[in-house]
Structure 1
Amino acid sequence: MTVAIDFDGVLHRYSEGWKDGQIYDEPVEGSREALQAMKDMGWKIYIFSTRSNKLYHKDQEKAQDQAMKTWLDHHGIPYDRLWNFGKPMADVYIDDRALTFRGDWKATLLEAQNFSPWNRPPKNPQ
């Protein structure tokens, strides 16, 4: 099993958004233990992020990769690879800015219109 996990908002709490690339928050509660359980089951863990993506932050690519590695190692969070460009091949994706497509585009459109990540207030509260 290969799992691809987003960094900001899923592992790194990311409570204040992008601030010059700083990684300022602690891990999301339970993330370290969950990833360790995945490793113990023999899963491959890819951590992905656009924070070091060449298209968005070309001048910070290497520094952001190193900052993420340092943060992950400091907090004892296991991983096999950092992924910063494109979509990694995986069996499952864990991301705070994703929807699960269930075969119904009408429902998906409605869900997308009202979407907000778990750590942000809803865009269109109902």
Structure 2
Amino acid sequence: MIICVDFDGTIVSSDREYTDVETPLEFLHGAKEGLQSLKAADHVIVIYSARANRALRIDPNLDPLVRAGLRRLDHEWWESNKDLNEARYQQMVEFCKTALDGIVDVVDDGQQGKPCAGLFIDDRAMRFRFGDWLRISRMYGEKHG
């Protein structure tokens, strides 16, 4: 099975400043062993992370929310942060090459969009089963009363 795994907060600790690309990344407890177990079971491991977001690294107009007018494009912010965002992406790629060599099959480069996969593992995910819209709307929908 193809398994997409998020990076920050799922494989490595996200307990660091966004701008910190110097401090070595640290595995979350059990992450490396868990990935090794999945790989040993012959699964294909894809790192699928927001760090690969090409709208942050290459062209802000790649963001569909910007194109739809739902997110304001701040060119000054983008210009001042694009190198940082590229450095964060490269930090992830290098970590996967060194600390996860032979375990990770591919690191998403942000070109494809959401990969076709049998499973997504992500610290920000919500499992959707059997028409869970009522539960989701109670948690995140409009509040009445």
TM category (shorter chain) comes to: 0.7 to 0.9
Change (3 A) 1:22 1:91: farther
Q: Percent identity?
A: 31
With the length of structure 1 as denominator, give the TM-score of the two structures: 0.75
Q: Which of 110, 115, 118 lines up with 2:138 in the alignment?
A: 110
SS of the aligned residue for 2:51 comes to coil
Q: Distance in 1 between matches of 2:140 and 2:27?
A: 27
What SS does the corresponding residue of 1:100 show, helix, strand or coil? coil
2-structure distance, mates of 1:104, 1:52: 30
Q: Aligned match of 1:94 in 103, 107, 121?
A: 121
**C-alpha distance in 1, partners of 2:119/2:23?**
25
The CA distance in 2 between the partners of 1:84 and 1:11, in whole Å, is 17
| Higher Rg | 2
- Per the TM alignment, residue 109 of structure 1 is displaced from its structure 2 partner at its CA by 2.0
Structure 1: give runs of 5+ residues left out of the alignment.
Answer: 114-126
Q: Which runs of 5+ in 2 are unaligned?
A: 59-81
What count of residue pairs does the alignment treat as equivalent? 113
Root-mean-square deviation (CA), in Å?
2.3
- How far did 1:11 drift? 0.6
Higher relative contact order (CA 8 A, sep 6+): 2
SS at match of 2:94: helix
The answer to whether the 8 Å contact 1:5/1:94 transfers is: yes
For 1:4-43, what aligned pairs fall within 5 Å after superposition? 4-16=4-16, 18-19=18-19, 24-43=24-43
The list of structure 1 runs, each at least 4 consecutive aligned residues, that deviate by more than 4 angstroms after superposition, is: 20-24
1:94-114 CA distances to partner (integer Å, 9 max, x unpaired)? 00111111213121122346x
Q: Kindly state the Cα deviation for residue 76 of structure 1 after the two structures are TM-superposed.
A: 3.4
Structure 1 residues 91 and 67: alpha-carbon distance in aligned structure 2, compared to 1, 3 A threshold: same
Which structure: greater helix fraction? Answer: 2
What is the DSSP-based 3-state SS (H/G/I as helix, E as strand, rest coil) of the residue aligned with 1:46?
Answer: strand
